[in-house]
Structures are given as structure tokens and as C-alpha cells.
Chains A and B, each alone.
Chain A
Amino acid sequence: MDLELMINSLPKLLNAAVITLKLLSVSLIIGLFIGLFFAILRLNKNILINRFAYGYSYVFRGTPLLVQIFIIYFGLGQIEYLRSTVLWVILKEPYWCAIIAFALNTGAYTSEILRSAFQTIKPGIIEAGKSLGISNKVIFYKIQIPIAIRQSLPAYGNEIILMMKGTSLASTVTIMDLTGVAKYIISTTFKPIEVFIVAGGIYLFMTFIIHNVIKFLEKKYSFN
């Protein structure tokens, strides 16, 4: 055990953890909107729209995140047309490519979580709203969405933790996040166990915090 290396690498790894958290929070926020959008499409009665939304979630849940990042980072740059558009400003940055891939990936899982939450809302609640003369829009925003959010909290908490682990793949496209820096330190010092303990400890600490925040929210918004 090389304690000195562990202590010396801690500040570097903590700095890198900030990048991990940035990647995580930005992609979760974008992913939540994508997820909500596709969950609403899934509830649509039109078969084409429904199939499209299902296809999206099927493809993104059925392929590894690594493939998705590589398609967006290496693949899209190959299309000549894209290089001439404004989009290229975003797509040439590995940071944004990673975020797009993460957001689309977590969006697919989030849409499934929200869809099942919407479907488990008792019809009686919506009927009660209707008989009170509340408009469909207000029922959706004021009744269905809050209940769906409450229902999906436990599953969404898991998704946040999975996504946090997923952000480690950003290191494959040259981003120096927590895993990227850990790998760099390992490959320069050849002390994998020490670095793993420190970096893994930081990840576990973040998991612990997320887990408890979700638990707290679940309690706060519980029905009884």
C-alpha cells in the first residue's frame, strides 16, 4: 500500500469528480426532458407515434452506451454536411458529444420509467378531476405529472446512479473525468489498487449521497 500516492492523488481525483458531476447533472436535465417527451408519445394512441417512441427506447436500451458515444463522437463527424452546419460547433467538442450520448441514453430509460408511472395512475383520479370540471391540460400538469414523478422516484434514483457510472465512459473520448484521471494515474504509477480505492471511494460517496437524497425526497412526497 502506497499511502503517499493515495493522499497525493486525492486532490486530482476530487477535481476530476467535479467534471463527472457536471457531465452527470447536465445530461440528467436534458435527459429528463427527452424522457418526458417520449413518455408522452408512448401514451399517444396513434400507432406510428407510439412505435416511434418505443423504437427509440428499444434501440438506446438495447445497445451499449459505448457504441452510442462512438457513433456520435467518431461517426457523426464523418458526414460532410454536418461539418458545414452550426451543429458542428457542438459536435466537434468531445464534451458535448458525451453529453448528447448520455442524455439520449438516460432519456430512453427515463421515458420507460415515466411511462409506467403514468400508466399506474388510477383512472379514478383522472375521472375525479374531470367531474370537478378541470380541463384536460390542467389535469395533466397538476394531477398526472406530480403523481407520476412521485411514483417514479425510486426507479429514477436507480437511473441516476446508473448514469453516474455511465459518465465514466466519457474517458474513452478524451475527457478527463474521474475515471479518466484514475486511469491516467494508474498507467503512470502502476499502482492500480491504491488508485482504485481512492477513485472508487469517491464514486461510492457520490452514490451514497444520491441514494439518500432520493430517499429523503421519497419520504417528503409520500402520500400518507
Chain B
Amino acid sequence: MELLAFGDTGWGDELFYATLMTIAVSITAMFIGFLFALIFTPLKLSKNKFLNFIANSYTTIIRGVPELLVIYLFFFGGTGAVMFVASIFGYNEYIEINAFITGAFAIGIISGAYSTEVFRGAIQSIDKGQFEAANVLGFNKFGKFFKIILPQTLRLAIPNLSNVWQITLKDTSLISVTGLVEIMRQSYIAAGSTRDPLLFYSFAAVLYLLLTFVSMKLINRLEVKFSRGY
């Protein structure tokens, strides 16, 4: 038990900071995922076949290829891609990208594919009459989207988004292969130096369970908030 103590003798504080790191990466990735969903959901719903094709390729490829492979692509290819872009602007020095950014971006792209599907489903299940009613009442495009469509979309999307959040949270454990010190990586280091893998990986499992449990409670509250009036 003293192995889990805080301070110099134990790994408690290291694991605490690692947990904060996991939370930070998850939230950043989820946010990046929303940005991707913001771009690709309209493309999915568009009547243009070509735009449809782009959005469908994105969600199909990302959801059909293992997360680990995507992370390897970013881990090994990220630096090269950034340096290529920089060289266009005349910057030829070596650029090293932070593991946090690489990881959050890789997980964010994966999470974005799932979010896109969730938002598409939610918007499609809103009654056509709502759009028509908004038009009849003279709402402009912005008003229609923010006052009428978005609140209803969120109500329908939140239960599924909570699944996406769970997937994202668990996927961040894979970033440990890139060396970012989150729960999994810290447990790996601790297990290696104390030769007690059973304790540390079990503790990591408990930390993840705690994170999923607490976030579920918070999301349930959100769900209640957004479905008031129903």
C-alpha cells in the first residue's frame, strides 16, 4: 500500500497528475472531435454527392481502422507532415511536436467520426415540421439553427455523446505508446521500477472506473437539464 502513498516514497502523486493528464487529453480530444463533427455533419447532410462522399469516407475509414493504427500514423507521420507544411513557408529547422498535441489530435479525429454520426442521427430525427415552422415564423438561418434546431439536437444527442465520451476516455489509454505520461504510461513506469505490475495496473483500472463513473453521473445531470420540457 505504501507504494501508492503521496510524496517521494510512493507513486500516489505521480498517478494523481497522470489522472489529470488523462482528463485533460480526453477533454481536448472530445473538443477537437466536436470541431470535426461541426465540419463533417453538414457535409453528411448536404445534398451534394461529392461532399457526402468526403464525409462518408472520413467516418467509414476512422470507424473501420483500429485506433492504435491511427495513433501510429500520427506519432510517426505527424512531425513529417508539420515539417512539410513549414517547409512550404520557408522554415526548414527540425520541429518536434508535443506528445499531448499529437495524442489529442489522433484521439480527437477518432472521436470526431463518432460525434459526426451522433449529430447526423440527431438532426435527421428532428421533425421536418420544426424546420418549416421556423421558416413560417420568419426566423433567419442563425435563429433557426441556434434557437430551434440545436436545443432539440442536443437533447437527442447527449445520451449518445456520453457513449462517445466513454470511448474517447478509454481510447486515451492508447496514447501511452507515444510516451505521454497519462494513467497508463505512469502505471507502466511504476510497474517497471517497482516490479509490481499487478498492483499498478489494477489501480489504473480503478482510476478509469472512477473516471467513467463520475463522468456518467455528470452527464446524467446534463441529460436531465436538456430534456426539461419533455
Of A65, A166, A196, A200, which contacts B77 at CB under 8 A?
A: A196
Q: Which of B197, B198, B205 meets A59, CB within 8 Å?
A: B205
Contacts of B213 in A (CB 8 A): 62
CB interface residues, B 45-89, toward A, < 8 Å: 60-61, 63-69, 72-73, 76-77, 80
Query: Which residues from chain B contact A207 at a C-beta distance below 8 Å?
Result: 64
- How many A residues face the partner with a CB closer than 8 A? 41
The verdict on A19 contacting chain B, using a C-beta distance below 8 Å, is no
- Determine the main DSSP class of A at the interface with B: helix
Given A71-B205, A193-B77: A64 and B173 interface contact (C-beta under 8 Å): yes
Task: From A64, A75, A76, A179, give the contact of B69 (CB < 8 A).
Answer: A179
Chain A residues in 8 Å Cβ range of B201: 67, 70-71, 74-75
> Which residue of chain A has its CB nearest to the CB of B69?
A179
- Flag if B66 contacts A192 (CB, 8 Å): no
Which chain B residues in 141-171 approach chain A with CB under 8 Å? 166, 170-171
CB distance from B49 to the nearest CB of A (A): 21
Nearest-Cβ distance from residue B168 to partner chain A, whole angstroms: 11
Instruction: Name A residues whose Cβ lies closer than 8 Å to a Cβ of B.
Output: 58-59, 62-68, 70-71, 74-79, 161, 164-169, 171-172, 179, 182-183, 186-187, 190, 192-193, 196, 199-200, 203-204, 207-208
Query: Could you show 24 A-B contacts with beta carbons less than 8 Å apart?
Result: A59-B209, A63-B208, A64-B184, A65-B170, A67-B204, A68-B205, A70-B197, A70-B201, A71-B201, A74-B198, A165-B64, A165-B67, A166-B66, A182-B69, A186-B72, A186-B76, A190-B80, A192-B72, A203-B64, A203-B69, A204-B60, A204-B61, A204-B65, A207-B64
Q: A63-B208, A66-B174, A203-B66 are in contact. List 14 more A-B contacts (CB 8 A).
A: A59-B205, A59-B209, A62-B209, A63-B209, A74-B197, A74-B201, A75-B201, A75-B202, A161-B64, A165-B65, A172-B68, A192-B76, A196-B72, A204-B64
